[in-house]
């Protein structure tokens, strides 16, 4: 039979047709396009969160349409499933694009050993990073722990990233006889809280590219300054598309790199590219520190006196801390599956430094609620804000949520959107409503403790406690 498949393209975090090295390699012969939802080799820390699962399901649905409904879906142990397909179809070649999470590196290594021992050619490719983690290192070949030299000396002096590949002919893709439908592999969690995301996000390869084009047209100019203001249009919101591989960093890098410098200021283009560099830095940290998701990078923080009373954790999760800018960020997360990066820093600082709750509680909540939950970026970012990670914010840098709101939401638009109960509070008191005279709160229709909570901690007292706690582990 002339169209019997001889290859497998195993898709993972690369749900696109353009610039897809493994798909390019497989498309020269008849092949199976396989997706495996592996719930066997993952654990509670690594299993996909509920918001990300919602995105993944919809992304696979779009990608399957782009592949003429020819994706072969499976659920279970990836090793067993791939071995079975190779035996059933006498497969000669298996192609995939690399993932860099430690549990996936370990699993994929076992798969490669198993298949190559049976004479099957296995090829893995880089489709999700500009540079491999092992390609960027210091002169002594140790990994960087500070971002600026990592990016300026490491990345920008390395060989240029691979130029994006063109799309390929998909006429030779074949669906496996025993494949399941997307709904049969049960990706969507039973808890349907994420249903509200429908209509907020456009998902898939075409949507990702359109979002990049829109950002370049409307948001790239003034990116360096505007990216800090949550109600401005100066962030790309490409992170979920990047995580699931609906667009590659190479496509983004070269699209902005080739822009007309007379229209797009160099400083804005550079700072946007440096944010892509932060993603690369996070993956380097995870690659060389495989416990980054759960363990402090700097071990002195193992002795940090985190509080054992986490009763305020639920107030933080629900956006009921009594600090409006913190609560606005947490409610944006719950309502949209996303949070502006400035707010991620503010709410993270509040959890670990004002509430003295271990950063891992925040990492876990973000992991479950973010549509762009990415092990490398999420773990590195939480350790950054806690002070326990690479190139971290000093522990004594404690964000003041009142000042952060006044500075980065100066007209209150963002805060009032997510805290509608404070919509009529004058801007002077929006970020500290407890300081407003009762007459003003009455006129605004707000009764503190009823319509909106009093602060759950005193800002100055909690700051002092945090600094005292840090003193106990400070290296003299």
The CATH number covering residue 209 comes to 1.25.40.80
74/116 same-domain check: yes
The pLDDT assigned to 366 comes to: 99
The pLDDT assigned to 476 comes to: 44
Six-digit token string for 198: 């429908």
Torsion of CA 343, 395, 383, 272, to 10 degrees: 50
The pLDDT assigned to 330 comes to: 99
Q: 196-223: per-residue pLDDT in tens?
A: 999 999 999 999 999 999 999 999 999 9
| The pLDDT of residue 1 is above 50 | no
Average pLDDT, the chain: 96
Q: 388-436: per-residue pLDDT in tens?
A: 999 987 888 899 999 999 999 999 999 999 999 999 999 999 999 999 9
Q: Report the candidate in 359, 366, 361 with the shortest Cα–Cα distance to residue 343.
A: 366
Asked if 284 contacts 144 with a C-beta cutoff of 8 angstroms, the reply is yes
Q: Which of the four pLDDT bands, split at 50, 70 and 90, describes residue 64?
A: very high
Q: 8-36: per-residue pLDDT in tens?
A: 999 999 999 999 999 999 999 999 999 99
Q: Report the candidate in 378, 428, 372, 375 with the shortest Cα–Cα distance to residue 402.
A: 428
Is 192 a member of any domain?
no
Give, in order, the Cα–Cα distances in Å from 79 to each of 25, 106, 127, 176, 260.
Answer: 21, 12, 21, 17, 48
Is 459 a member of any domain?
yes
The pLDDT assigned to 33 comes to: 99
159/68 same-domain check: no
370/429 same-domain check: yes
303/450 same-domain check: yes
136/281 same-domain check: yes
| The pLDDT of residue 41 is above 60 | yes
Q: 138-159: per-residue pLDDT in tens?
A: 999 999 999 999 999 999 999 9
Is 200 a member of any domain?
no
Give the relative orientation of helices 266-288 and 375-386 as an angle to the nearest 10 degrees.
Answer: 100
| The pLDDT of residue 334 is above 70 | yes
Six-digit token string for 238: 């490409």
Report strand pairing: 71-75 vs 93-97.
Answer: unpaired
Q: 42-54: per-residue pLDDT in tens?
A: 988 899 999 999 9
Q: Which residues are known to be catalytic?
A: 275, 278, 306, 341, 359, 382
Q: Report the candidate in 205, 193, 155 with the shortest Cα–Cα distance to residue 16.
A: 205
The pLDDT assigned to 327 comes to: 99
Q: Which of the four pLDDT bands, split at 50, 70 and 90, describes residue 191?
A: confident
The pLDDT assigned to 167 comes to: 83
The residue-averaged pLDDT of 300-312 equals 94
The pLDDT assigned to 56 comes to: 98
Q: 340-385: per-residue pLDDT in tens?
A: 999 999 999 999 999 999 999 999 999 999 999 999 999 999 999 9
Task: Report the residue count for the chain.
Answer: 476
The pLDDT assigned to 62 comes to: 98
Task: Provide the CATH number for the domain around residue 407.
Answer: 1.10.579.10
120/138 same-domain check: no
Q: Where among 105, 127, 149 does a domain terminate?
A: 127
Of the chain, the percentage scoring pLDDT greater than 90 comes to 93
248/140 same-domain check: yes
226/250 same-domain check: yes
Q: Where among 264, 288, 312 does a domain terminate?
A: 288
Is the pTM for the entire model greater than 0.85?
yes
The pLDDT assigned to 475 comes to: 62
397/381 same-domain check: yes
Q: Where among 288, 307, 323 does a domain terminate?
A: 288
Q: 251-269: per-residue pLDDT in tens?
A: 999 999 999 988 999 999 9
Domain residues for the domain of 255 are 129-163+205-288
Is 308 a member of any domain?
yes
The pLDDT assigned to 2 comes to: 58
Q: How many domains does the chain have?
A: 3
Radius of gyration of the chain (CA): 24
Question: Which residues are CB-contacts of 450 (< 8 A; sequence separation ≥ 6)?
Answer: none
């Amino acid at each position: 039979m002339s169209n019997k498949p001889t290859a497998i393209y195993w898709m993972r975090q690369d749900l696109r047709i353009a610039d897809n090295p493994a798909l390019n390699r497989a498309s020269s012969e008849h092949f199976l396009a396989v997706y495996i939802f592996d719930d066997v080799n993952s654990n509670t820390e690594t299993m996909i969160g509920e918001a990300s699962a919602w995105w993944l399901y919809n992304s696979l649905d779009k990608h399957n349409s782009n592949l003429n409904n020819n994706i072969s879906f499976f659920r279970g142990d990836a090793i067993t499933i791939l071995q079975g397909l190779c035996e059933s179809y006498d497969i000669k070649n298996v192609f995939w694009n690399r993932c860099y999470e430690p549990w996936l590196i370990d699993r994929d290594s076992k798969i490669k050993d198993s298949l190559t021992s049976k004479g099957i050619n296995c090829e893995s490719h880089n489709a999700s990073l500009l540079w491999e983690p092992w390609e960027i290192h210091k002169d002594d070949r140790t990994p960087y722990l500070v971002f600026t030299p990592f990016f300026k000396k490491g990345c920008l002096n390395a060989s240029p990233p691979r130029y994006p590949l063109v799309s390929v002919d998909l006429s030779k893709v074949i669906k496996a006889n025993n494949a399941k439908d997307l709904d049969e592999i049960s990706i969507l969690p039973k808890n349907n809280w994420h249903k509200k995301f429908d209509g907020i996000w456009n998902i898939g390869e075409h949507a990702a590219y359109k979002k990049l084009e829109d950002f370049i047209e409307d948001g790239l100019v003034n990116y360096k300054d505007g990216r800090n203001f949550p109600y401005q249009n100066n962030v790309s919101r490409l992170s979920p598309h990047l995580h699931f591989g609906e667009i590659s960093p190479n496509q983004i890098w070269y699209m902005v790199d080739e822009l007309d410098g007379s229209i797009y200021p160099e400083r804005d283009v550079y700072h946007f590219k440096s944010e892509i560099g932060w993603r690369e830095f996070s993956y380097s940290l995870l690659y060389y520190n495989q416990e980054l998701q759960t363990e402090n990078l700097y071990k002195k923080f193992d002795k940090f006196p985190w509080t054992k009373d986490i009763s305020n954790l639920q107030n933080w999760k629900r956006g009921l801390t009594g600090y409006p800018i913190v609560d606005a960020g947490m409610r944006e997360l719950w309502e949209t599956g996303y949070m502006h990066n400035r707010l991620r820093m503010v709410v993270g600082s509040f959890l670990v430094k004002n509430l003295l709750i271990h950063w891992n509680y925040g990492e876990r909540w973000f992991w479950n609620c973010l549509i762009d939950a990415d092990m490398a970026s999420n773990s590195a970012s939480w350790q950054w804000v806690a002070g326990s990670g690479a190139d971290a914010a000093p522990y004594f840098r404690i964000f003041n949520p009142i000042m952060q709101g006044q500075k980065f939401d100066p007209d209150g638009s963002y805060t009032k959107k997510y805290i509608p109960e404070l919509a009529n509070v004058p801007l002077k008191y929006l970020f500290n409503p407890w300081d407003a005279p009762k007459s003003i709160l009455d006129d605004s229709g707000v009764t503190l403790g009823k319509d909106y909570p009093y602060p759950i901690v005193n800002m100055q007292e909690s700051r002092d406690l945090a600094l005292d706690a840090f003193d106990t582990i400070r290296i003299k």
